[in-house]
C-alpha cells in the first residue's frame, strides 16, 4: 500500500475530527473541516446509517494511522511490538508512535505538522545527540537531545513553525529550548500526554480478532 498523497482535508472530514494535517491552516477559517463538517463524496450530507462495532474499530485505527502518517504495514508492526511488551498494549502502541523522531520534531515545534516534520528529518536538518539522523521512524530515547542543525536554523518554515509552537503545546515528556533550536527527551511518553481523542482499546480489539 502506497502512502496517501491526495488532499488531506478529506481525511479529517472522513474521520469526523480535526487531525491537524495541514499545520497552521487547521487553526484558521480556511479549514475544510470547519467549512464542511461532513464526510466527503456525493452522499456526504445524507443521513448516515448506524455504524457497527467493527466499523467503529476500523475507523479508530484509520484515524490514528492518518494522524501519525503511517501505512498499514508500519502500523501493524507497531501493534506487534506493543503486544510483546509488558504493560497495557494500547498504551504501549501510543508510546511507540509518540517516540518516532518525526513526531518528536513536530511536538517540539520545529514543524507545523507531522508530514512537514517527516520532510525536515528526511532532508537532513535534524541531529540526535549531535549526529545527523534522516530516519523519521527512528525511536528517541530518554536523555536524547534533538536539535536543528546550525545551517538549517534560518529556514523560514522552521522559524515560522516555532513562532506558532505555543498554540500546539509541549508534552511533559519533552523539554524545549526554542531559542537554541533544541529539545530533550526527559521521560517516556505517558497516556496523559496524548490529548487527542483516541480510543486505543478499539484498535487493540480490531487487531486481536
- What CATH superfamily classification does 100-187 receive? RNA-binding S4 domain (3.10.290.10)
CA gyration radius, the chain: 18
- Where in the chain are the domains? 9-97+196-207, 100-187
- pLDDT, block means (10 residues), the chain with 209 residues: 64 65 61 61 62 88 90 95 94 96 95 92 96 95 96 92 84 93 95 89 92
Contact 136, 100 (CB under 8 A): yes
Do the beta carbons of residue 74 and residue 137 sit within 8 Å?
yes
> Over the stretch 105-143, which tens digit does the pLDDT of each residue have?
999 999 998 989 999 999 999 999 999 999 999 999 999
Q: What's the pTM value of the predicted model, to 2 decimals?
A: 0.83
Sequence-ordered list of residues with C-beta below 8 angstroms from that of 45, at least 6 positions apart, any chain: 38
- Domain 9-97+196-207 class, CATH top level: mainly alpha
pLDDT tens sequence across 157-174:
999 889 888 877 899 999
Strand 182-185 vs strand 145-148: parallel, antiparallel, or unpaired? antiparallel
Give residues with Cβ within 8 angstroms of 85, minimum separation 6: 92
Amino acid at each position: 500500500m502506497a502512502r496517501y498523497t491526495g488532499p488531506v482535508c478529506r481525511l479529517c472530514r472522513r474521520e469526523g475530527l480535526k487531525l491537524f494535517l495541514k499545520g497552521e491552516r487547521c487553526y484558521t477559517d480556511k479549514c475544510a473541516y470547519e467549512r464542511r463538517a461532513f464526510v466527503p463524496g456525493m452522499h456526504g450530507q445524507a443521513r448516515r446509517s448506524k455504524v457497527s462495532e467493527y466499523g467503529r474499530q476500523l475507523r479508530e485505527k484509520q484515524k490514528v494511522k492518518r494522524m501519525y502518517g503511517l501505512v498499514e504495514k508500519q502500523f501493524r508492526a507497531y501493534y506487534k511490538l506493543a503486544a510483546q511488551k509488558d504493560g497495557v498494549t494500547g498504551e504501549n502502541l501510543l508510546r511507540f508512535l509518540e517516540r518516532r523522531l518525526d513526531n518528536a520534531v513536530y511536538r517540539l515545534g520545529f514543524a507545523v505538522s507531522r508530514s512537514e516534520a517527516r520532510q525536515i528529518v528526511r532532508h537532513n536538518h535534524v541531529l540526535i545527540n549531535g549526529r545527523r539522523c534522516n530516519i523519521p521512524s527512528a525511536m528517541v530515547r530518554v536523555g536524547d537531545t534533538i536539535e536543528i542543525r546550525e545551517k538549517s536554523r534560518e529556514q523560514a518554515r522552521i522559524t515560522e513553525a516555532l513562532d506558532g509552537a505555543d498554540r500546539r503545546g509541549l508534552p511533559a515528556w519533552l523539554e524545549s529550548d526554542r531559542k537554541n533550536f533544541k529539545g530533550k527527551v526527559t521521560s517516556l511518553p505517558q497516556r496523559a500526554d496524548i490529548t487527542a481523542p483516541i480510543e486505543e482499546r478499539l484498535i487493540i480489539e480490531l487487531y486481536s480478532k
